[in-house]
Amino acid sequence: MYITKQHVDYITFTTSKFKRFDDVIGEPEPCRPLIGNYSSAHIYPTGMVVQWNKDKPSLKTHITMTGKTLDNMRTIGFTESEIIEHLQSMQRANFKRIDLAITSHKKDGSMHGFLPHFAHFATLSGWCNTKLTLDKPVTDVNLNIETAYIGKRKQREYLRVYDKGLELGGLAGEIIRIELERHSVANTIARDVANGIPYGQVINRYISFPNSPDWNEIVGTVAAPRTRVDIDKEKNEKKENDRLWSWLFNSVAPAMAKALYNEDCNIEDSVNADRFSSLVAEHYNRLVDKNLI
């Protein structure tokens, strides 16, 4: 039997109408901005950081609430659903990131049954229901998997399974944490939290291990229903991406082939081909960096 605890572990959001709530969490002090685009920042006694740039009105105020900040908010007496409801109603928050965490250990203190290496190899073997792809794990000097990532770490779209007990200085394999970080659906997850949906159901919406008794006991077997808004958004994004790829295949590829042909040299010797690849990588990295904010 497992003892489990669920909590929100990280929140970032932007807003054009930030309202100070010093009367609730105390007065802030000036601090250094966490993100380069912002010129000014305040930190509240809870650890919440508010950043803005008065010289760039189009840049919305950015707020970061770390795990420690949320711990302090819970200590004051706020529930996580109350925090999200306040951010939605009073701050008009556009959520950029919200991490859900489930920490578990066996009641008798024995070895955990859902270890990071199991999550990694179960996904590798096709025993995981998800659209996310497996990423490189974090291993120790003996190549034992300490943290498994299902999803792309660089894009901040993944489920992470890691040995929390080892991180706390305890024995390996006793306390395991499962964390979901999905930037692209942050507003949906925020609504789930506000509506009191168990975090295991939210996680199961995006990823599950139905043949694992340990996962089923810790996370559950029920998945939160997908909303019509989410379904329509996914369909529209797929259509847009399909149109973009069609344009690249049918227009850009022939045009680039003609340009390379006119150079009268092999593709692998073309300076412009290398430059084009570098530009694609540069713009891709900009999109990734933008998604991290």
Residue 80 or 266, more confident: 80
Q: What are phi and psi of 113, to 5 degrees?
A: -95, -10
**Could you tell me which of 191, 214, 211 has the C-alpha nearest to residue 202?**
191
Instruction: Write the pLDDT tens digit of every residue in 73-112.
Output: 999 999 999 999 999 988 899 999 999 999 999 999 999 9
- Residues 132, 206: contact at Cβ < 8 Å? yes
Q: What is the mean pLDDT of residues 118-137?
A: 93
The strand ranges marked E within the chain are: 2-15, 29-30, 40-43, 49-52, 61-65, 94-106, 129-130, 138-139, 145-152, 157-163, 175-182, 207-208
Poorest-pLDDT segment among 20-24, 43-47, 120-124: 20-24
For the chain, the structural domain boundaries read 2-219, 230-292
**Could you tell me which of 194, 182, 172, 95 has the C-alpha nearest to residue 130?**
182
Among all chains, which residue has been given the structure tokens 């920042």?
41
Instruction: Write the pLDDT tens digit of every residue in 26-81.
Output: 889 999 998 888 999 999 999 999 999 989 888 999 999 999 999 999 999 999 99
**What's the confidence (pLDDT) of residue 290?**
57
The Cα-based distances of 75 to 8, 46, 110, 149, 290 in angstroms read 14, 10, 30, 31, 33
Integer Cα distance of 287 and 180 in angstroms: 21
Residues 57, 10, 98, 115, CA torsion sign: positive
Please determine, for residue 113, whether its predicted confidence score (pLDDT) is greater than 80: yes
Give the Cα-Cα-Cα angle 11, 235, 282 (nearest 5 degrees).
60
- Residues 226, 239: contact at Cβ < 8 Å? no
Give pTM, 2 decimals: 0.79
Distance of CA 83 to the CA centre of its chain: 19
Cβ neighbourhood burial of 1 (10 Å; 0-12, 13-18, 19+): exposed
- Residues 219, 102: contact at Cβ < 8 Å? yes
Question: Considering the chain, what percentage of its residues have pLDDT values greater than 70?
Answer: 94
Count of Cβ atoms closer than 10 Å to residue 2 Cβ: 15
Arithmetic mean of pLDDT over the chain = 89
**What's the confidence (pLDDT) of residue 193?**
94
